[in-house]
Each structure stands twice: as structure tokens, then as C-alpha cells.
């Protein structure tokens, strides 16, 4: 049973992983490094959870509402910064990190590893002996078009600005801008989910953001060949 739950939780990340790796199909990254980055992204979930739990405990002590936009902004900041640090430490000196587009690919791969752990946790928390398998599948489907895609897109923007920074010789300046955008997107999405539920509005935000991210992929490809 647990193995099936694990499989269902991992499927959304694997589907998006295959989709986004097609953007780098001409010069694919080594599978070993892809697996390493995915695994490090998954491990970074636990680091983010540690800091988020401590932050929520701090809010409880202050009597502050934990789901206000400023609180959600800080929680999103924890996740986005930790995802970036995880990727940066793994790939920055790796010989296979040899073109700007790689920044986008590796950030998205790590984000999908992060989301995979979240998905397995979410499905496991909701599943009980009295629940039906349809419940697990329903959660997986919602997270496929929701949280999993959110993580991929948010980290994709970080990777995009990282790539621009590499091209322009000002990596850190651009990275900070990308992280800021990813945090804002993450916080706004979570705010809508908590305030109005899984309606068309948060999904529309992701669809629009996904369109811009795919355009960014094409822009970096063109910049690389100028």
C-alpha cells in the first residue's frame, strides 16, 4: 500500500520532469547529474520544513495569523531560497554546467524533487483505511496542475534570471531578481489557494506564468546562439 502511495505521489513530478527536459533535448544533461539534482531538491524539502515549522511556532507565540500574505511570503521565501542554494551548491562548479540554459533545467529538476516529497507527504496525510484510491488520485491530479507545477515554474524563473546573469556577466544581481519573482508568484498562488480554494483563479495564474516561462526558454536558447 505504501509503495502505491509513493508511486502516486511521484508521478506528477516525473511527468513534468519529462516535459521540461524536452526543452534541452538537443544537448541533454547527464542522467547522473539530473538524478543528483532531483535527489538534492527532494532532500531540501526537509530543510525548508524545519525552518517553516520554527517560523510558524514563532508566529504562534506572537499570536499572529499564520496565513496572512506577509506570513505566506516568508514561508515561500524559505522554500525558494533553499531550492536555489541546493542547486547552486551542486552544479556551480560542475563541468556539465556549461551553458546558460542549464540553470533553468537544473532549477526545475530540483523543484520537481522538492515537490515530489511534498506530494507523497500530502497524499499520505490524507489517505486512511477508510479512504478510496480515488482520493489519492484526486490529490495527485490537483497537485499535478497546482503545487507541482508551481514549484517548477517558480524555480524556472530563478533559473531564467540565473541564465541571463551568466550571459550578461552579472549572475548574482539577476539571481536575486529571479528569486524575488519566484517568491512573489509562490506567495500569491498560496494566498489564493487558502483564501478562495482550488478554483480557476490560482490555476489561471500558473497557466499565464507557464506561458511566460516557455517563452523564457526560447529566449535563452536564442541568446546562447547569438
Domain ranges of the chain: 2-224
Region for 169 from its dihedrals, namely left if φ exceeds 0, alpha if ψ lies in -120 to 50, beta otherwise: left
Question: What is the per-residue pLDDT for 56?
Answer: 84
Is residue 26 classed exposed, middle or buried when 0-12, 13-18 and 19+ CB atoms within 10 A define those classes?
Answer: exposed
Question: What is the per-residue pLDDT for 87?
Answer: 97
pTM value? 0.87
What are residue 66's phi and psi, to 5 degrees?
-75, -15
CA distance 8 to 18: 16
> CA neighbours within 13 Å on the CB side: how many for 203?
9
Question: What is the per-residue pLDDT for 14?
Answer: 72
Show the low-confidence residues of the chain (pLDDT under 70).
1-11, 24-27, 64, 124-145, 198-199, 224-226
Give the DSSP letter of residue 95: T
Amino acid at each position: 500500500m505504501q509503495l502505491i502511495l509513493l508511486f502516486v505521489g511521484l508521478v506528477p513530478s516525473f511527468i513534468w520532469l519529462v516535459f521540461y527536459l524536452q526543452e534541452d533535448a538537443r544537448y541533454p544533461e547527464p542522467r547522473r547529474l539530473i538524478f543528483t539534482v532531483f535527489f538534492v531538491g527532494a532532500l531540501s524539502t526537509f530543510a525548508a520544513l524545519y525552518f517553516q515549522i520554527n517560523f510558524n511556532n514563532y508566529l504562534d507565540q506572537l499570536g499572529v495569523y499564520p496565513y496572512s500574505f506577509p506570513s505566506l511570503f516568508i514561508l515561500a521565501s524559505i522554500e525558494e531560497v533553499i531550492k536555489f542554494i541546493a542547486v547552486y551548491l551542486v552544479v556551480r562548479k560542475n563541468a556539465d554546467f556549461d551553458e546558460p540554459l542549464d540553470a533553468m533545467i537544473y532549477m526545475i529538476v530540483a523543484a520537481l524533487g522538492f515537490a515530489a516529497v511534498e506530494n507523497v507527504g500530502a497524499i499520505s496525510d490524507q489517505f486512511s483505511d477508510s479512504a478510496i484510491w480515488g482520493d489519492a488520485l484526486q490529490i495527485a491530479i490537483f497537485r499535478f496542475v497546482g503545487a507541482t507545477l508551481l514549484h517548477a515554474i517558480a524555480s524556472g524563473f530563478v533559473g531564467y534570471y540565473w541564465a541571463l546573469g551568466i550571459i550578461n556577466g552579472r549572475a548574482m544581481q539577476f539571481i536575486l531578481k529571479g528569486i524575488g519573482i519566484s517568491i512573489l508568484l509562490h506567495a500569491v498562488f498560496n494566498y489564493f489557494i487558502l483564501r478562495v480554494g482550488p478554483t480557476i483563479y490560482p490555476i489561471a495564474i500558473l497557466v499565464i506564468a507557464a506561458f511566460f516561462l516557455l517563452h523564457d526558454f526560447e529566449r535563452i536558447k536564442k541568446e546562447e546562439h547569438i
